[in-house]
């Protein structure tokens, strides 16, 4: 009789050999690995604790393309990620019910219509008992995801209570790009428009004069520039200040992780890779620190701008590792009772026409492809 550890090893060996074209005799273990599920984990019975929500959204990319295939590439790559997390101290799912939701693709004929459609889809996971992790797709997913969180019990109709922590190379604070106010380059600006209370940014190193002015003038925005945190001599001081800013937070938080926040050498297939970014371990430290803050409840997260590489899976594998770290940190917060399910008592009726009610012209989807 094989132990559970041995079973897990043989199951993953089988999967790895399958992708490498190696014939394996361990077919009796195959049912333990579920193709198409995040980490290959079968979904256990019971209410969903963590929802992996892939969003195949790519309508406003301005440089590299392919982010619509990013969520599925990330899920495929997650099959090779270890289930054990050293901070959690055990294997995932760590007693949680982790569900991989069918991939969302927009059907409405306009950009704003698809944003409303995406918000409706995301809102189902903000019930106070579930932690949603959204996989993108371009960063344009952020405004509808944040809008949908208005129904979460800790937000309860008032997004001013919510802090958004943004890891990114770009400030994403433009009024518009190429005439489109809902471009991925405007994701943070449109998120501020939803009424959030705070926006904390780190890794920023590509931004316009307009964005620099907004960072200086809008008291809701706190930005840690890569030129400071990555400086070879004074970087440690600025990085410690970033971590201390996270430790000072209270209340509900959403984490948005644009892969180009990392140095471009780590994620070359992301839509707009930029040199001089965060190291892998700095992103890990940011995630771990945020989830460990006693008075913070991370109510959701997204990993976006996931590109696909054919010659090497580095980009999508990096995304899968970071997504796994987010899930592990949430599991630890539950385990230590720093995150507990919140009863859904809100009577707030979120509008499914929030974005379509905007005054900007509704271009056809084909205009943004």
Q: How far apart (Å, rounded) are the C-alpha atoms in residues 256 and 357?
A: 25
pLDDT digits over 169-203, tens only? 999 999 988 878 888 889 999 999 999 999 999 99
Q: What is the pLDDT of residue 366?
A: 40
Answer whether 270's CB lies under 8 Å from 260's CB.
yes
**Mind listing the pLDDT tens digit for each residue in 135-172?**
987 888 999 999 999 999 999 999 999 999 999 999 99
Count of beta carbons in the 10 Å neighbourhood of residue 218: 13
Question: What is the rounded average pLDDT for all residues in the chain?
Answer: 85
- pLDDT value at residue 196: 98
pLDDT tens for 20-70 read: 444 333 333 334 789 999 999 998 899 999 999 999 876 544 344 445 688
Which whole number is the average pLDDT over 207-236? Answer: 97
pLDDT of 10 above 70: no
Can you tell me the distance from the alpha carbon of 192 to that of 220, in angstroms, rounded to the nearest whole number?
A: 8
More confident residue, 141 or 287: 287
Peptide bond into 77 cis (omega under 30): no
pLDDT digits (tens, 9 = 90+) for 234-265: 999 999 999 999 999 999 999 999 999 999 99
**At residue 226, does pLDDT exceed 90?**
yes
| Digit-coded pLDDT (tens) for 288-334 | 999 999 999 999 999 998 888 778 889 999 999 999 999 999 999 99
- pLDDT, one tens digit per residue, over 324-369 is 999 999 999 999 999 989 887 655 555 578 888 875 444 334 433 3
**Residue 83 CB partners (closer than 8 Å, separation 6+):** 8, 39, 41, 91, 92
Question: What domains are defined for the chain?
Answer: 1-33 (no CATH), 46-368 (3.40.800.10)
Spatial contact of 112 and 352, defined as CB atoms under 8 Å apart: no
- Find all residues with CB under 8 Å of 109, minimum gap 6, and list them: 364, 365
CA contacts within 13 A on the Cβ side of 70: 35
Assign 3-class secondary structure to the chain: CCCHHHHHHHHHHHHHHHHCCCCCCCHHHHHHCCCCCHHHCCCCCCCCCEEEEEECCCCCCCCCCCHHHHHHHHHHHHHHCCCEECCCCEECCCCCCEEECCCECCCCCEHHHHHHHHHHHHHCCCCCCCEEEEEECCHHHHHHHHHHHHHCCCCCCCHHHCEEEEECCECCCCCCECCECCCHHHHHHHHHHCCCCEEEEEEECECCHHHHHHHHHCCCEEEEEHHHHCCCCCHHHHHHHHHHHHHCCCEEEEEEEEHHHECCCCCCCCCCCCCCCECHHHHHHHHHHHHHCCCEEEEEEEEECCCCCCCCCHHHHHHHHHHHHHHHHHHHHHHCCCCCCCCCCCCCCCCCCCCCCCCCCCCEHHHHC
Judged against a pLDDT cut of 70, whether residue 78 lies above it is answered with yes
Please tell me the predicted confidence (pLDDT) of residue 164: 98
Question: What separation in angstroms does the CA of 342 have from each of 149, 151, 302, 311, 317?
Answer: 14, 12, 21, 44, 33
* 39 Rama sector, left if φ>0, alpha if ψ -120 to 50, beta otherwise: left
- What are the pLDDT digits (tens) for 87-139? 999 999 999 999 999 998 878 878 888 899 999 999 999 999 999 999 987 88
Closest CA to 133 of 319, 326, 336: 326
Q: Residue 351, Cβ neighbours under 10 Å: how many?
A: 13
Measured CA to CA, the distance from residue 362 to residue 182 in angstroms comes to: 11
pLDDT at 307: 83
Q: How many CB atoms lie within 10 A of CB 213?
A: 11
């Amino acid at each position: 009789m094989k132990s559970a550890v041995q079973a897990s090893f043989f199951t993953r060996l089988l999967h790895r050999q399958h992708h490498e074209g190696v014939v394996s005799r361990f077919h009796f273990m195959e049912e333990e690995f579920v193709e198409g599920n995040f980490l290959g984990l079968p979904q256990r019975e019971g209410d969903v604790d963590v929802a992996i929500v892939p969003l195949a959204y790519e309508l406003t990319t301005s440089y590299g393309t392919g982010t619509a295939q990013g969520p599925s590439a990330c899920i495929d790559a997650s099959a090779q990620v270890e289930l054990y997390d050293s901070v959690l101290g055990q294997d995932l799912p760590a007693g949680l019910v982790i569900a991989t939701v069918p991939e969302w693709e927009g059907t409405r004929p306009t950009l704003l219509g698809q944003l409303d459609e995406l918000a409706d889809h995301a809102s189902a996971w903000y019930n106070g008992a579930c932690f949603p992790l959204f996989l993108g797709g371009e960063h344009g997913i952020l405004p509808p995801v944040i809008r949908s969180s208005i129904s979460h019990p800790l937000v309860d109709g008032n997004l001013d209570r919510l802090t958004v922590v943004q890891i990114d190379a770009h400030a994403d604070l433009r009024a518009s790009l190429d005439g489109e106010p809902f471009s991925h380059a405007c994701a943070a600006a449109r998120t501020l428009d939803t009424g959030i209370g705070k926006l904390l940014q780190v890794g920023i190193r590509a931004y316009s004069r307009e964005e620099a002015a907004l960072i200086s003038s809008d008291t809701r925005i706190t930005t840690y520039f890569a030129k400071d945190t990555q400086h070879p001599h004074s970087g440690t001081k600025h990085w410690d200040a970033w971590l201390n800013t996270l430790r000072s937070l209270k209340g509900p938080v959403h984490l948005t992780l644009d892969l180009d926040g990392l140095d471009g050498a780590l994620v070359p297939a992301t839509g707009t890779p930029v040199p001089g970014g965060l190291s892998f371990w700095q992103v890990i430290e940011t995630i771990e620190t945020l989830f460990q803050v006693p008075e913070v409840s991370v109510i959701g997260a997204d990993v976006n701008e996931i590109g696909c590489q054919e010659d090497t899976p580095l980009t999508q594998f990096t995304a899968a590792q970071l997504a796994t770290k987010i899930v592990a940190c949430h599991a630890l917060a539950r385990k230590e009772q720093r995150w507990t399910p919140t009863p859904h008592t809100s009577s707030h009726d979120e509008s499914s026409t929030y974005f379509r009610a905007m005054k900007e012209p509704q271009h056809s989807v084909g205009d943004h492809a």
